[in-house]
Structure 1
């Protein structure tokens, strides 16, 4: 796959329990900083949820919002198919789970949008849709950036966000 995906880009995604083809549109080019042209597409899932922040002391001693965890529902073709949570981890309804770590990032479309990410899978379990996935790309982010005062250590802030997660595997 070319690192310079252009819109409209349609990708083949597998539906639950079958090889039925479905399409998902990616709304913008995938930046070179996070693109993985050498891997095959497993599935693209849309996430709706919140980024959770905690008010903690920064390295300079001042209080600041620090990312704690995402909490999101994963959606495919209008149906809930899984969840995204701390780790970061993505769990599909068939029991397959991937755990990843940050590899690279690039800014979101606006200052209010969390960054687009490339994440390397470090662990997985179960057999299913996410089996064999080696990389995850977070794209098309909307919202999720913490704003406002952080005045009390230990306080939490929930910021709504949405994103598309592109799950990739070796061909």
Structure 2
């Protein structure tokens, strides 16, 4: 790639913004065409699993809940927890319901998701949000056998969450 082309590509990326660039690269199953970005955050936390007996009676790790801090420019602006819930420091919050998924980049990464907002509370930045995307996942899958029903274990993960609104 020539230097001129590299500079043009960099300038174009800055002009169209990360949301447009991210939307183009997203798998169809989680794309949100025509929606506008309200907030883009990074999450650091853990996916929590519980040892449970399956239908076959064998013990296996079952996903229980996420526990994560939501960050913008390295500053905490909210939290993510069971529901799944996303809560902003301004008191606004949304609960999502998964409607699409795509594999993570590696076998140890939890899937990318598209979630529809099922309910909301409070008033603030998350109030107009209708869709949440989880992308750029790293980690979060738990491997190995579990020995005792009721035991909990967590797997560290990080992801980016994009909060969007229709229209």
RMSD across aligned C-alpha pairs, in angstroms? 1.9
Matched, 1:166 2:162: yes
Corresponding residue for residue 122 of structure 2: 126
Cα distance between partner residues in 2 of 1:44 and 1:63? 38
Corresponding residue for residue 17 of structure 1: none
Cα distance between partner residues in 2 of 1:90 and 1:10? 24
Corresponding residue for residue 11 of structure 1: 18
Matches within 5 A, 1:1-171: 10-11=17-18, 26=22, 29-171=25-167
| Cα displacement (A) at 1:161 | 0.0
- Residue-pair matches, total: 153
Q: Select the structure of larger CA radius of gyration.
A: 2
Q: Deviations over 1:64-90 (max 9, x none)?
A: 110000000000112100000000000
The structure carrying a bigger strand percent of its residues is 1
Q: Deviations over 1:38-79 (max 9, x none)?
A: 211101110000000000011222111100000000001121
Q: Deviations over 1:16-40 (max 9, x none)?
A: xxxxxxxxx85x9211111011211
| Cα displacement (A) at 1:11 | 3.4
Aligned to 2:25, the other structure's residue is in SS state coil
The structure carrying a bigger helix percent of its residues is 2
| Cα displacement (A) at 1:104 | 1.1
Structure 1 outlier segments of 4+, above 2 Å: 8-12
Which consecutive unaligned segments of at least 5 residues does structure 2 have? 1-12
TM-score if structure 2 supplies the norm length?
0.86
| Cα displacement (A) at 1:145 | 0.1
